[in-house]
Structure 1
Amino acid sequence: MRLFRLLLHEAHYCLRDPRRFILLFLASMIYMFIFGVLYDPGMVKSIPTVSFNEDGSRLGRHYLQQLEDNDSYGTIEDVASLEDLQQSLLNHRAYIGVMIPRRFAEDAKQGRQTSVLFLIDGQNLVTTSIAARDGETVTEKFSNRLAAQQLALRLGVDETYLLHKIEPMHTTLRVLGNPTQDYSWFFLIGLATAAFQQGLFFAAAATLFQKETPAIELLPLGVRIAAKVLFVYLMALVSFGLMLTVMHEVLELPLKAGTFELFGIGAAFSLAVVGLGFLAAGLFPTELSFVCVSLIYPVMGFVLSGYTWPSLAMPRAIQLFADIFPQTWFMNTFRDLLLIGGTYQLQEHLLVLLLMGAVLLPAACWSARRRLRKIRRESSLA
């Protein structure tokens, strides 16, 4: 009964201090909506492209048309020289430059090897990798088709038959979990999770540092701390459910796994984060100092979690360091559940997060007790 009364007291404070509701419920929503608009096209398409057809041949123009027909390349604009092509990239008027060399058509028809120069602005690795990959694919197909045409004319054989001889193998691509290669599915899940975690940190600090009424201060300290931790945790579960609803119903991200699996890993993650938030907040003298320092954590945890850059590509020491963050055990598992429907690591990662929570919660209570006692001493001296 006393604990329920304290939970109502915390809810009353939340109504008077809207920051906590904003941080708990709106932080992840704002991130999802902002970046959902940015990634609305789904894939990077129509990258601005310029070309310099030094050969001026019909074959060169046909090759450029094949590039333009690819979704990744935008409408290809012609320039008068290689210098103009380079200048277009330096001025960011284009991100891809294609140069057809002199004697391109003649060398190709005579069976001599020729080349096409691709100049790509490498400052953005997304456009760089897409342009390089699709450029090589278009060039390979164009080259094989041209070889089949030339041989068919010389030998008087069917061009399709020769194309099968020249190109006996082809690739069949099946992308699991994200068949449309939608960037919003990749980034939004991680950004929303990072914002959700940061909201829990801020809410924990606001709850711990709030000014109590004299009647509440007379209640046992352990019960007050339990009420604060429990209230933030319950609100975290509500916020997590709201985040899933917006992901699926508004932003149309798939929820392949069942509700039990999703809420299970979400509840374990929230437990670890709430414990970590109260533990860290109790070590700082003011709420502001904790907030300033805690802003460092989400970016570092996001990068080290292996969500965007695979952890297998990181040095072993960094991998071990990343293992102390709840994000490392949650983010990739959560994404697998959403996009694929399951992962063989679910039980292991769920157990690790629960163990983190079991270790962090007692430490958080100790830290909160230490902070509240110090606040009481300071208020009595004042």
Structure 2
Amino acid sequence: MTPPSRPTYSALTSSTDPGRQRLDRLATASITVGAFAVLAAILAIGIFLLWESLPLLSLAGTFTLETLSPLAWGTLKAALAAMLLALPIALGAAIYTALYMPPRLRSRVKPVLEMMEAIPGVVVGFIAGLILAPWVERHLASTLVLLVWLPLSTLLAGVLWHSARQSLRKRLPFSWAGLWLTPWLIAMTFIALWATPGVEHVLIGGDLRQWLDQQLGVNYATRNAMIVGMAMGFAVIPSIFALAEDALADVPTSLLEGAQALGATRWQALWKVALPAAGPGIFSAVMIGAGRAVGETMIVLMASGNTAIFSTSPFEGMRSIAAAIAIELPESTPDSSTYHVLIFAALVLFLFTFLVNTLAEVVRLRLRTRLSRMGDRG
């Protein structure tokens, strides 16, 4: 017996009333016009920046290079500091939330983490510049110890949980580690803050900041790359987490179940199956996070000190391209050399963020195609 054929789209639309068809066509036309308007606006911005940068061809190339080099270095330095903090936290949280956390807890935790992205960058920069930077300056040793001790204490908690008795592991299941690990990390933080000043006094006989200046000649600025990395890393974490978590959650469960049925552990299924399958999506998340870190303005402006210098030290400041444009462009004279250099810097920043986001979108579409093929085969 031949199964009945499904009605085609034209048959469905022909059976509807003419009013609904007109609304559908109007909505389709509006979406199409809006999409082309966005593309036209982006193209117009690029053409404007390129046109305003053309007068630089009559200037000496060394002037432009010497002017932009510290800004480009500061931009990369700030972005690298932010990604060093954001990547381990965001990707670790995405893996745990997507693959290990119970669905009931995940439905509550994920929206909270995603809502962190709604915090304005100016608020994060304000807190970093006026609250975090002075506190870190007074407690530099404690801050450095916390940056190392908290990841180590997390690993220590995992080792203790793995070696504990079966009854205790049932009371503290791994799927709920996000809850019972919180008081552990709070306790480790208090221990580090309590013990570090005494150890600092015994080892170096005083304040770490003064010891770095006197013994190593390292200058510590109140607003520096480390402060920018902490603040901007906090702002970038939600973007990376949301995209990476969606990519991992979209991996077909049949792949993980098949790997475990063949004898693989959950850890092996994660590394050998889940991460390779979600790799393009995770790469897309990382690229979008890097693009936001490069283009961030207010956090770098308020927490970096805005010193255009070449320095690899995390204790010294920098000036990024976005911060330089925000500070100097409103005061520059139109058609002056400074004006055209700033426009050229904006063009470089525009091209970089455009290419990064385009690459991330291409990778995301590749992920969707790969997962759909895997689902069809399963």
For Structure 1 versus Structure 2, the TM-score category normalised by the shorter chain is under 0.3
* Larger helix percent: 2
TM-score (norm 2): 0.26
* Larger strand percent: 1
Say which one has the larger Rg.
1
